[in-house]
Structure 1
Amino acid sequence: MITMVIQETLRLYPPAAFVAREALNDLKIGSLNIPKGTNIRIPVALAHRDPVVWGPNSVRFDPGRFANGIAGACKAPHMYIPFGVGARTCAGQNLAMVELKVVLSLVLSKFEFALSPNYVHRPAFRLTIEPGNGVPLILKKLY
């Protein structure tokens, strides 16, 4: 379950806002012609919220969508790109996943937490996606 929660969090809030590539050949995607040498930027957060790929509830946080892995989560598994795609995929993605699981497990085993009633969900799309106003938490140590 922790893997599914992390995967869904990375889907909605990927660490990088864009994946950039250069067209190695002339391309045609639908009605769009892309000449060789054109720089292409894929907005990861938009790709991860596309209802054509992720279904009608694409903007809802639903870790269960990953119950059958990434391939079962969406219609086009190659569109799950929180760590990039292709030859330039993040070399540290496996380490990052292990670290996330360890840290999250430790925090959840020692604390109970909830969002402050003053929290306003306002993601800021900058170089990375981050909370626009921070994330005030109410922490309670577990015994």
Structure 2
Amino acid sequence: MGWDNLPPHLMKKIRSDSVTPASALPGCDPALKYGNKITEVNGIAFDSKKEATYYEDLLWLQRTGAVKSIELQPEFVLQPAYEVAGKKIRPIIYRADFKVTEADGHIYYVDTKGMRTQVYLLKKKMLLYKYPDIDFREA
């Protein structure tokens, strides 16, 4: 949908010098911050093509018997919720992309990263400090 094809009721609201990006208009797909493309596999929407491809690879390994189970978005509490002066502070949670259990029972966690943000790097440090015995992998 382009600017020239907007319904008449929206044309009145948008000036030619408008700073409203086209992606914010009804019927337009939003632009994602890091240029990733939401990709669907087996009815599951993944945040990136890279994550979806990794999942497809895990499914193949599961069919061959090398992987027993795959869990999506496992969570780790890095800091529990608490309260200060009556104000509730939410917990800090890290979500990996996958928890993989291999045929022999070994468990590892995977995060597929295209962009290693400062928040991600900080949470990764906290994760490895609090859970030093986990097998954590980046893809």
> What is the TM-score normalised by the length of structure 1?
0.27
Higher relative contact order (CA 8 A, sep 6+): 1
Based on CA coordinates, which of the two structures has the bigger radius of gyration?
2
Q: Which has the higher strand share?
A: 2
Q: Which has the higher helix share?
A: 1
